[in-house]
Chain A
Amino acid sequence: MNNQLSAPEKELLRVEDVTRLYGERAGCLDVSLSLWPGEILGIVGESGSGKSTLLRCLAGIDPPTRGHIMFDSGKGLLDIYAVAEPDRRNMMRTAWGIVHQNPRDGLRMAISAGGNLAERLIDRGDRHYGRIREVARDWLQRVEIDPARMDDKPRAFSGGMQQRLQIARVLISEPRLVFMDEPTGGLDVSVQARLLDLLRVLVRDLGIAAIIVTHDLAVARLLTDRLLVMKEGRVVEHGLTDQVLDDPHHPYTQLLTSAVLAA
C-alpha cells in the first residue's frame, strides 16, 4: 500500500458515483472518473447535460447528493466534503482553482488587477508589498497583460483581458488542479485562439492538471488528453480525445462529432 502511495502514477482526483439531484431532477448521475497529475481532461456535452453541475461538485462549490470526491493535496486522497469547511475553503484557494466562464464571477471588480492577484499571495501569508507587486507584475506578463495596466480596475479591461486576468489569479497560487468552465465562451474567435494557446503553454509549463468543461469540440481537441462525453447527466463515452473524436462509439457522440463542420 505504501508502495502505491509513493508511486508517481498516483491519482490526483478520484470521483466515485457522484450524483447531484435537484429535487426529482438529476443534474448528474453516477459519474466516476480519475485524474492523474499533469493530465487534462475534457468534459463535453450539450447544454443541460450536467457538465457544469459536475464541475461545481468537483470544485467544492456544491456538495453532491451521493458519492465521493477524493482529492490528493499532498497527504493522500481525502474526501473533500468530509474535511472541515475551513480546510476545504483553504484547499479551494490553494490546492485547486476555478476559471469561471464569466470573469466577473472569478474576479473582484472593485479591486485593481494587481490587487486581484495580490489577494492570493496575501492569503498565502505574504506581507511584503514590494515582493507581492513583483510577483503580480510577472504574472500579468505571463498572461500577456501590459504591466502598465496593473493598477487599473478589471472593469476597464476587455473581455479577453479579464479572462486572462482571471486565469492569472487562479494560477498565481500554484494549484495542482484547475477547473475551467467554458473558459473561451463569449470571446471572439481570434481572442479565443490566443487564449487557448496561452492556456496550453501555461498548463504544460507548470505541469498542473486541468478539467475543462466545454461544448466546443475544437477546444477539446486542442487542449485535452482525455475526453468524457455527457448526456442527460450520465457519462456515455470516455476515452483518449483523438479516439473519442475520430472513432466515436456511442450514437450520441457520433451525432456530436458529425455536427461539427469539417475544416
Chain B
Amino acid sequence: MSIAKSSQADRADYNFAYLDEQTKRMVRRALLKAVAIPGYQVPFGSREMPLARGWGTGGIQITAALLGPTDVLKVIDQGADDTTNAVSIRRFFERVASVKTTTATGDATIIQTRHRIPEQPLQTGQIIVYQVPQPEPLRGLEPREEETRKMHAWAEYGLMQVRLYEEITRYGQAATTYAYPVLVNNRYVMSPTPIPKFDNPKMDMMPALQLFGAGREKRIYAVPPYTSVKSLDFDDHPFTIQQWEKPCALCGSRSSYLDEVVVDDRGGRMFICSDTDYCGGNVTDVASEEASA
C-alpha cells in the first residue's frame, strides 16, 4: 500500500520510468541500430542513474526506454529474484513506472538480468535485458580502443582464438567459464556478459529479443530473435558446458545451473539451482504430485 501511495507522489516529480522522453528516444535509437547490426557495440549517451555505475545502470536505462504501462517486469541477479540488486531495481521501477512486477519467468514481458539466463526457455515477444560490466570482448587482449574497433570492423578475431589456444595448452581445456566469447550471426565476436558459459547455448536461436547495456562503458548491443550465436572453439576441442555430479539439493533438477552453498563451518556444502523461480516451481510441482498421489 505504501508503495502505491509513494509511487503516486513520485510520479509528480519524475517522468514515467524515470528517464525523460528525449533520453528514452536516444536510447531507443541506439537499440534499433544495435538490433540492425547483431553483436555490434553501439555507443550511446549513458546517463547518471540513481544507482552506482557498475550496478546495472546500462540495463536500467534500456529497461526504462522499453517499459510501457502494461509491461510485466522481472529482475534477476545471479539467477535469484531476491538478492539486493534484483530487489532494488525491481522496487525502483515499481516506484517510477508503477509497472507490474513478477518473479515468474513465463509471466514477464521484460526480464532484466545480471549473470544468468532463466532456465525456463524464453518465448517470442519476451525481451531479456543484460547488465554488462565490460562490453568489449577483446579488451583483455588489446588495450587500445582504436585497435579493437578496427579488429571488429575487419573481423580480425585471430587473437581471441589464440587465447583459447593458450588455455587449452595450459589447462587441457578452455578455462574461461563465464563471459565466454561468442560469434554472433557469423560476423561479430561479442561478450555475452558474465553469464556462465552454461547459458551460452541458450542464446543461440533464442525466440526472445536480447539486449545488452553497459552504462559505465556507454555501449549498447543486441541479438535479435532467432539469430545464430556460436561459442568460439577449436574443431578438435569443441565447446562444452559445465556439469555437476549431483542434482539440485532442493528440487532435484539435473538440467539447471547449480550454485555451491556452504552450509556449516565443517566443510559441509550443498548444490542448489541458481534460478530461484525455476527451483521453486520444481519444488511446488513435486509437492502437488505427492499431494495428489
Contacts and interface: CB of A to CB of B under 8 A. Distances in A.
Interface of A: 85-86, 89, 111-112, 114-115, 118-119, 122-123, 127-130, 132, 151
Contacts of B236: 128-130
Given A118-B162, A129-B168, A151-B170, 16 more contacts: A89-B154, A89-B156, A111-B166, A114-B169, A115-B162, A115-B169, A119-B159, A119-B162, A122-B158, A123-B156, A127-B234, A128-B235, A128-B236, A129-B165, A129-B235, A132-B234
Q: Which 5 A-B pairs have the closest CB atoms?
A: A86-B154, A129-B234, A123-B158, A128-B235, A122-B158
Nearest to A129: B234
Contact of B237 (A85, A115, A122, A129): A129
Interface string B149-192: 01001101011011001101110000000000000000000000
A17 to B, nearest CB: 30
B96 to A, nearest CB: 46
Interface in B237-256: 237
Contacts of A119: 158-159, 162
Interface residues of B, number: 17
Contacts of B235: 127-129
A151 B156 CA distance: 24
A128 B234 contact: yes
Interface of B: 150, 153-154, 156, 158-159, 161-162, 165-166, 168-170, 234-237
B168 A111 contact: no
Contact of B165 (A85, A86, A132): A132
Contacts of A86: 153-154, 156
B263 to A, nearest CB: 40
A115 B234 contact: no
B160 to A, nearest CB: 9
Contacts of B165: 114-115, 118, 122, 129, 132
Nearest to B164: A129
9 contacts: A85-B150, A86-B153, A115-B166, A118-B162, A119-B162, A122-B165, A129-B165, A129-B235, A151-B170
Nearest to B168: A129
A130 B234 CA distance: 9
A122 B141 CA distance: 15
Given A86-B154, A129-B168, A111 B162 contact: yes
Contacts of B159: 119
A6 B162 CA distance: 38
Q: Find the residue from A85, A115, A119, A129 having the highest chain B CB count within 10 A.
A: A129
Contacts of B158: 119, 122-123
Q: Find the residue from B150, B170, B236 having the highest chain A CB count within 10 A.
A: B236
A114 B236 CA distance: 17
Given A127-B235, A130-B236, A112 B166 contact: yes
Contacts of A130: 236
A157 to B, nearest CB: 16
A119 B159 CA distance: 7
B88 to A, nearest CB: 39
Contacts of A89: 154, 156
A127 B169 contact: no
A223 to B, nearest CB: 31
A163 B255 CA distance: 51
A88 B153 CA distance: 14
